[in-house]
Amino acid sequence: MKVNGGYMFPGSNSGIDLFALTGWLPEQIFFEEHRKGRRASITSTKRVWQRLVSAHEYGDCLVTVSTESVGETLTEEEAERLGLVPGHAYAVLDVKEVQGVRLLQVKNPWARKRWRGPYSVDDTARWTAAMKRAVGYDLAAAQLEDNGVFWIDWPSICRFFKNVFINWNPALFKYRSVLHGEWPVTQGPPMDTYNLGLNPQYTLTVPYGNASASASAKPPIVWVLLSRHVMELETDEASGDYLTLHVFDNSDGARVWYPSTPMYKGTYTNNPHTLVRFDLPERSSPSQTQRQYTLVLSQYKKTRDVRYTLNVYCSALFELQPTPEPPPHRQRVQGSWGPGNAGGRLGSARYHTNPQYAITLTTAAVLHVQLEAPKEYAINLTVVRSSGERVDSVPVEKEVLTSEAYRPGFCFAASPTPLPAGTYTVIVSTYEGGQQGGFILTAAASTVLQKPALVPAEGEGMWSRVVTGAWSEACGTAVGCCNYKNYNGNPQFSLSLTAPTTSLLLRLSAPATALRPALNVAVFEAASPDTLPPKARPTVDRSVCTSNEGVYTDGVCGCVARATAVPAGEYIVVVSTFMPQDCPFELAVYTQPAPAHFAQII
């Protein structure tokens, strides 16, 4: 015990002490009445009793119980009256159930001061001749000497004692694996409330055995013991590191990033040892040959490096190995949402203004992308197949990866298989529009990766003008597409370009309504100044440029037409809805260099 600085090291209890002395595995069982928010392995006194009887009958274990400390539910006066020592451990020598009475034979390691309540040496009324014969108890001899050994009934144990400790002989398990590790304080966030992905993780693969074996064969049993290395003398004032272990059974053994619903959620403790035990469930089908788990270490408020040992015991031959980490080639960029680019969630009218980054894969590679932001913000990232250009919508056929639901403070997306070489666009967004703040975007790939490049904001560095108008049946401008035989009646704008070549970008949008119109914006060469060609159609072959290749779209961000190297000349811009419909619109025009003239005609 000197290794731990004596018996009073933080988290010390009889189970931990016996493990230090014998190497037998410590299992701690809280009574439901004394859990105080802690996760107990057994949650009712009835089940604790059953577990205690089973352990005692099995034989290869040491059982101890501990009393409440003064100030919990036991006062010093009550403890003295009952013959108990507060905050003290007692050895369990025997477990009996006689005539419906549950009894434990207990020994105070001081070899003095014994129980004075029900079934004590003073309780001659309850110790009938039949009861004494049943347990082999010589009451008269016991009354002559206080050697610290006494009988006590189970209800009294449940009332005045806090928990049961069972130390198991590790030789009960045929197979064992040991791994040692170190967790630097710089690895991962100080608190893993939202992100477990950088924590030490291990993949445990357990076979079911021969499917043709007897149906009565029990599934394998697994015990996992996490031991924190004690590197220096610890005191209660400096209560050490709070460490625990979570077990995930729905991960297929892969790395776990979100601390959502583990099969077993550990409790943070400064005890040097944490034991987790579970049985494999029955096979989901006759063809199932194994089951995989992810074991995840977790700390509460990391303050320093932690070294640890992970022992896994099992009744079947298993595999234990570190869980594969994200791809090795990583790049990290910092960015922010501000007044002009906090566009909000996918589906909002300003989603296209969110920060976007281009990631280029020179060869086919696995890609992992993650986003970190203030925990108050629900965030998402989406990866779209593109040429690294800014995107304003995410068609299903172009979506490559997504972090799916918006999550507080952290999200990620990863490709299970290599993505083709090419350039992809990553859009980062908050659920609520207008939320301003910084973020960190990290990309990792299985090939050498350049730092993600920020895609310029729409129209950045270009001349711009925003105009508003409306399609109006009363004014004769709500005439719809060419199908309605009056396309030339739609609102029109004249555009005069004098530079040898001009880059052009137009965005048409309409406010969200119960019936959102499908929109198109197209640019045509003027037949004469301010005059549209008589048979103009917003198709690729009949226009200088048109949105969505001439297909009308009802996306909430509107529609966009782009063109480069437009020669000098006179042009007409036409904005239209698919069906005739009264509706206001907004048209943003960007050119580089500035046009000589831009004005509404109709």
Q: Where are the domains of the chain?
A: 2-168, 189-322, 329-454, 463-600
More confident residue, 328 or 235: 328
User: pLDDT at position 40, please?
Assistant: 41
At residue 551, the pLDDT reads: 95
What is the C-alpha separation between 536 and 382, in angstroms, rounded? 37
Cβ contacts of 125 within 8 Å, gap of 6 or more: none
Rounded CA-CA distance 443/436 in Å is: 22
Measured distance CA(322)–CA(1) in Å, rounded: 31
Please give the average per-residue pLDDT across 581-592, as a whole number.
95
Share the mean pLDDT of the chain: 90
Whether 2-168 shares its CATH topology with 329-454 is answered: no
pLDDT band at 70 (very low <50, low <70, confident <90, very high): confident
pTM for the model: 0.80
Say if residue 596's pLDDT is above 60: yes
> CATH number of 463-600: 2.60.120.380, 2.40.30.30, 1.10.10.10, 3.40.50.12780?
2.60.120.380
Mean pLDDT of all residues in 202-230: 83
pLDDT at residue 237 in the model: 43
User: Rounded distance, CA 347 to CA 394, Å?
Assistant: 9
pLDDT for residue 544: 96
**Residue 298 or residue 17, greater confidence:** 298
Please say whether the structural domain 2-168 has been given the CATH code 3.90.70.10: yes
Residue 260 belongs to what H/E stretch? none
Tell me if the bond preceding 272 is cis, omega within 30° of 0: no
Task: Look at residue 212 in the predicted model and tell me its pLDDT.
Answer: 55
Does position 79 have pLDDT exceeding 60, yes or no?
A: yes
- Is residue 277 a contact partner of residue 223, using CB atoms and an 8 Å limit? yes
Alpha carbons 200 and 297: distance in angstroms, whole number: 6
Tell me which residue of 378, 373, 377, 371 sits closest to 427, measured CA to CA: 371
Residue 8 has pLDDT above 70, yes or no: no
Lowest-confidence range among 71-85, 110-124, 429-443? 71-85
Confidence of residue 189 (pLDDT cuts 50, 70, 90): confident
Q: Which residues contact 591 (CB under 8 A, 6 or more apart)?
A: 462, 463, 497, 502, 503, 504, 505
CATH 2.60.120.380 fits 189-322, yes or no: yes
pLDDT of residue 238: 43
CATH 1.10.10.10 fits 329-454, yes or no: no
Answer whether residue 7 shows pLDDT above 70: no
Question: Is pLDDT at 39 greater than 50 in this prediction?
Answer: no
